[in-house]
Structure 1
């Protein structure tokens, strides 16, 4: 049966939450363990759905996985890696797109890999065709079949010169996980350089990879013959940290986020201060709270790192509905990420969506008829509503809005939020939220 979350809004969130390893790093680090000839250990593991999915995928491929949930540690032994069937992968992958990143490691280990149809949050175009083209550049042979895709490397994988049309995180990860054991040198231009990418590079370097990152977004990988295991502590989840910060701002609360790291939140913290939020930095986390005055409107454009991250945009939009004046948000990373605003409009927010690029950053979507700019007028008095969660970040943003609104909200589809937010319901209750979970 579907779960229904009933929220009584209007209460500030106060207290402490703990943020563990990054959703955008931990599953990829787990895949990297396949490349090793020895066991690997990954620490600071969050209890989220994506970790469970990758654990299942590793297990069906013969990796022995030991998950100590109390300690937040994963041990992965890839020494008996084997192939899995399309049906096994499809069953265990669910709506995750992570199987595409198994391709390079599995071809190095077993000579081939299989991919079923892939899912993921419906926030924009995330085709796997570019991943497949990247693999072809390394010498892979792609065979599309009715049940899925078989990818093989009959002549082995060789280094390649690549340039991404856009600094895609997923494509950069694909190159890294494939190039480290490929013969020769790989050069990737216009690569993503997010903190999670650098953390993955540190893991691969610890395993024996030779990787350099230049200031012009060029990554150079010298292939090696063998990689060992690793022992690594994941960086904290900067997206979850920013979400709790926005929750403190919108509900006029005060939240200490244990584990949050200032170094990975620079662009967010600048924006948070501009709008009227306050924060303090401690050795083990950050404290966020509403500054007490009127929230200020602003012009905001998402961008790849080191810009304002697209995953921070949706919670911040909720905060901007409470700012006095007109704000403009230009989404330049995913073309369909404003779908979540329909529920905010029903809750009383004044948000208009536009196809034009309402910003100064070069944008891929300006002439493609996507509603990728938003004009937000505030402050708006939010009221409770019935909401169905559309995607991970949009869903958490809906929760923030419902917690700040007057009256009762009923939220369905909250299972999506479990993909990236560890024990989010327990954390909300611990912060004083008036919520009740039931079966619908």
Structure 2
């Protein structure tokens, strides 16, 4: 049965939460273990649905996965890998897009891979054509079937010269996971350079890969014949950290995020301080709180790293509904990421969506009929509402709004949030929120 989360809003969130490894890194690290000829050990692993999905997908391919939830340590042994049944892959993949990243490692191990119909959050067009074109350039044969896509490498995988039309994180990960054991040299231009990409590169280098990252977004990979295992501690989840920071701001609370790291949050922290939030940093984590003065409006554009991350946009929009004036947010990464604002409008927020690029630079969504800019007027008095979670980050942002709003909110679809937020209900309750869970 589906769960219903009831929130009595209007209470400042105060206390401490613990953030572990990055949702955008840990599952990909697990996939990387397939490339090794020896077991790997991954630390700081969170208890989230995406980790469960990859665990199941690895297991049906013969990888032995041992996981200690309390310590966050996982061991992965790929020495007896085999091809899984297509129906089993389809069943365990669910609505995740992660199976596409299994292709390179599985072709190196088994000579073939299968991709079921892919799901994911409804935040914009995220076609897998980047991935398929990358794999074809390495020499893969792509066979589209009624049940999914079968990919093989009858002549092996060879290095290639590639350039992405947009610095896609997923496509960059695909290249890295495929090129490290491909014959010859691979050069990727216009690659993503997010912190999670660099952490994945660190893992692959530890396994024996030879990878060079240049300052012009070019990555060069020299293929090797064999990779060993790795022992690695994942970077903390910067997106979850930003979400809790935004929750402290919107509810006028004070939250200490244990495990948070300042290094990968530069663009977010600058914006956080401009709007009226404050933070402190120590060796164990970071503290975030509302500085006490009215929040200030601002103009904000999302961008690929090192810009303001698209995953930070949604919780920040909730904060901007409480700012004293007019704010403009220009989304340049995902064209349909403002769908979550419909619920905020029902709660009392004043948000207008526009097709124009309301930012300093035109983006690839301009003149294409996408509502990818928002004008937010505040401060707005938010009131409780019935909410159905649309996607991961938008869903957590809805929770933030409901926690700040006056009155009762009934939230459904909360299972989506468990994809990337560990024990989020327990954490919210621990911060003093008035919530209850029931079955529908």
Structure 1 and Structure 2 fold alike (TM over 0.5): yes
Summarize the alignment of residues 318-337 of structure 1 with structure 2, pairs less than 5 Å apart. 318-337=318-337
1:85 and 1:114 in contact (8 A); partners too? no
- Partner of 1:368, secondary structure, is coil
- 1:23 — aligned with what? 23
Distance 1:135 1:118 in 2: 17
CA distance in 2, matches of 1:145, 1:319: 46
Structure 1 Cα separation of the partners of residues 201 and 307 of structure 2 = 20
Residue 237, structure 1, aligned to residue 237, structure 2: yes
1:378 is aligned to: 378
- Higher mean alpha-carbon deviation, 122-131 vs 193-202, is at 122-131
Give the corresponding residue for 2:435: 435
Q: How far apart are the structure 2 equivalents of 1:256 and 1:147?
A: 47
**Number of residue-to-residue matches in the alignment:** 440
Deviations 1:344-388 (A, max 9, x none): 000000000000000013411001100000000000000000000
What secondary structure, in the 3-state scheme, does the structure 1 residue paired with 2:6 have? strand
SS in structure 2 of the partner of residue 144 of structure 1: strand
What does 1:34-433 correspond to in 2, within 5 Å?
34-433=34-433
Residues in 1 aligned to 2:130 and 2:294: alpha-carbon distance in whole angstroms? 45
Unaligned runs of 5+ in 1: none
Q: What do the CA deviations read for 1:232-290 (whole angstroms, capped 9, x no partner)?
A: 00000000000000000000000000111100000000000000000001111110000
Aligned partners of 1:27 and 1:51 also within 8 Å: yes
CA distance in structure 1 between the aligned counterparts of 2:430 and 2:421, rounded to whole angstroms: 15
Q: Deviations over 1:104-163 (max 9, x none)?
A: 000000001011101000101111122111000000000111111110000000000000
Paired with 1:223 and 1:362, the residues of 2 have a C-alpha distance of 38
- Separation in structure 1 between the aligned mates of residue 426 and residue 27 of structure 2, nearest angstrom: 23
Tell me the SS of whatever aligns to 2:248. Answer: helix
Distance 2:184 2:61 in 1: 27
Distance 2:55 2:157 in 1: 26
Instruction: Name the SS for the 1:345 alignment partner.
Output: helix
Q: Distance in 2 between matches of 1:293 and 1:388?
A: 32
CA distance, structure 1, for counterparts of residue 226 and residue 360 of structure 2: 46
Report the alpha carbon displacement of residue 33 of structure 1 after superposing the two structures with TM: 0.1
Using the TM superposition, give the Cα deviation of residue 71 of structure 1 relative to its aligned residue in structure 2, in angstroms.
Answer: 1.1
Contact 1:9 1:402 in 2 (8 A): yes
Quote the Cα distance in structure 2 between the aligned partners of 1:192 and 1:130. Answer: 13
SS at match of 2:149: strand
* Distance in 2 between residues matched to 1:147 and 1:318, nearest whole Å: 40
**In structure 2, C-alpha distance between the alignment counterparts of 1:2 and 1:259, rounded to whole Å:** 31
- Give per-residue Cα distances to partners, 1:271-315, cap 9 Å, x unaligned: 000000000011111100000001000000000000000000000
Contact 1:17 1:258 in 2 (8 A): yes
Structure 2 SS opposite 1:265: helix
- For 1:3 and 1:152, the matched residues in 2 are separated by 41
SS in 2 for 1:380: coil
In 2, Cα distance between equivalents of 1:311 and 1:130: 21
How far has the Cα of 1:2 moved from its partner? 1.1
Shift of residue 219 of structure 1? 0.2
> Following superposition, which runs of at least 4 residues in structure 1 exceed 6 angstroms of deviation?
none
Q: Distance between the aligned counterparts of 1:408 and 1:71, measured in 2? A: 36
Gaps of 5+ in 2: none
Other structure's SS at 2:59 match: helix
RMSD: 0.4
Q: 1:2 corresponds to which residue?
A: 2
SS at match of 1:114: strand
Structure 2 residue 14 is the aligned partner of structure 1 residue 14 = yes
